[in-house]
């Protein structure tokens, strides 16, 4: 399922009249998609970043030389583990200083506000024993694109939740109601709370239950908290930001050494590696 809005305003690529003869994007000769397939730019950049890391893991001896990616954007479990080991070795992230944590807290007083709430709805693609995770992710990513491109007042989201969601809330159009951080799994809460984003979130939210397409319908800011209350959370956030910056720089180095065609990595705001 590959949905497009046709206008390109949401980052979706409208199909060209003739895609059969379109060039195949590649990294060092390894194709990133099937011939004739068109992908949104961000999805193509994500695949290119992952392929750069997969090939580097092979060069580092962390992954077998005969490991081959598919043209559907998925990597093998061995490749995913090798990429994790590669990044653990390559990215040295220093601990944020006390001054840096205090400055960040002062600049973002509501980031970890007590009592913060959000009214949410979601479509859950549950990861259960025996499920084809690759196909599940493709279906979830395609739906995410479709729903971000929908401008119908939320009707399509409710229909998609009833059709696809593995959560009982699907029968209610995916409605979860008003939730606070403590009402959610920690990994879900980290993705949803602490920002001003409203609408269908730009990325899939991963949790222990599976893959979520999440829409933030409304937000209520919480009361500001003291630095002492949130110092560990601020330090973790700064470490995450430093990790993303280090990853971006590392990918720029790898891209500069690679032969890349059909995709512009410099346009990527944040490297997406899954």
* 31-51: b (≥16 Cβ within 10 Å) or e: bbbeeebebbebbbbbbbbbb
- Per-residue pLDDT for 269 more than 80? no
Alpha-carbon gap, residue 142 to 123, rounded angstroms? 12
- Per-residue confidence (pLDDT) for residue 249, from 0 to 100: 92
> What pLDDT sits at residue 235?
92
pLDDT at 197 over 90: no
For 253, the token pair is 């180095």
Contact 272, 49 (CB under 8 A): yes
- Average pLDDT taken over every residue of the chain: 83
- Residue 15: pLDDT over 80: no
Q: Identify the CA nearest to 140 among candidates 31, 3, 46.
A: 3
- Return residue ranges of the chain for CATH 3.10.50.40: 116-224
pLDDT at 153: 84
27-52 pLDDT tens trace: 999 999 888 888 777 788 888 999 99
Q: What CATH number should be reported for the domain whose range is 116-224?
A: 3.10.50.40
Q: How far apart are CA 260 and CA 156, in angstroms?
A: 37
Lowest mean pLDDT among 154-163, 166-175, 250-259, 265-274: 265-274
- Kindly give the pairing relationship between strand 199-200 and strand 117-126: unpaired
pLDDT at residue 167 in the model: 95
User: Is residue 226 predicted with pLDDT exceeding 60?
Assistant: yes
d(CA 25, CA 181): 41
């Amino acid at each position: 399922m590959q949905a497009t809005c046709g206008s390109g305003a949401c980052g979706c690529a409208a199909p060209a009249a003739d895609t059969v003869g379109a060039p195949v994007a590649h990294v060092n000769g390894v194709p990133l998609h099937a011939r004739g397939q068109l992908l949104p730019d961000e999805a193509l950049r994500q695949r290119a970043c992952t392929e750069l890391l997969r090939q580097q893991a092979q060069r580092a001896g962390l992954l077998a030389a005969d490991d081959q990616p598919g043209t559907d954007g998925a990597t093998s479990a061995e490749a995913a583990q090798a990429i994790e080991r590669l990044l653990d070795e390559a990215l040295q992230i220093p601990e944020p200083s006390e001054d840096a944590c205090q400055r960040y807290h002062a600049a973002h007083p509501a980031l970890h506000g007590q009592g913060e709430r959000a009214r949410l709805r979601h479509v859950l693609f549950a990861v259960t024993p025996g499920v084809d995770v690759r196909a599940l992710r493709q279906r979830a990513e395609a739906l995410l694109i479709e729903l971000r491109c929908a401008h119908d007042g939320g009707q399509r989201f409710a229909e998609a939740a009833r059709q696809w969601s593995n959560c009982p809330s699907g029968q209610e159009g995916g409605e979860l109601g008003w939730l606070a951080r403590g009402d959610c799994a920690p990994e879900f809460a980290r993705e949803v709370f602490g920002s001003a984003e409203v609408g269908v979130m730009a990325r899939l939210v991963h949790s222990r239950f599976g893959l979520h397409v999440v829409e933030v319908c409304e937000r209520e800011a919480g009361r500001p908290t003291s630095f002492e209350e949130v110092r560990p959370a601020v330090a973790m956030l700064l470490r995450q930001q430093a990790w993303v910056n280090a990853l971006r720089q590392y990918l720029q180095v790898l891209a500069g050494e690679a032969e890349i065609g059909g995709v512009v990595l410099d346009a990527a705001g944040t490297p997406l590696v899954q």
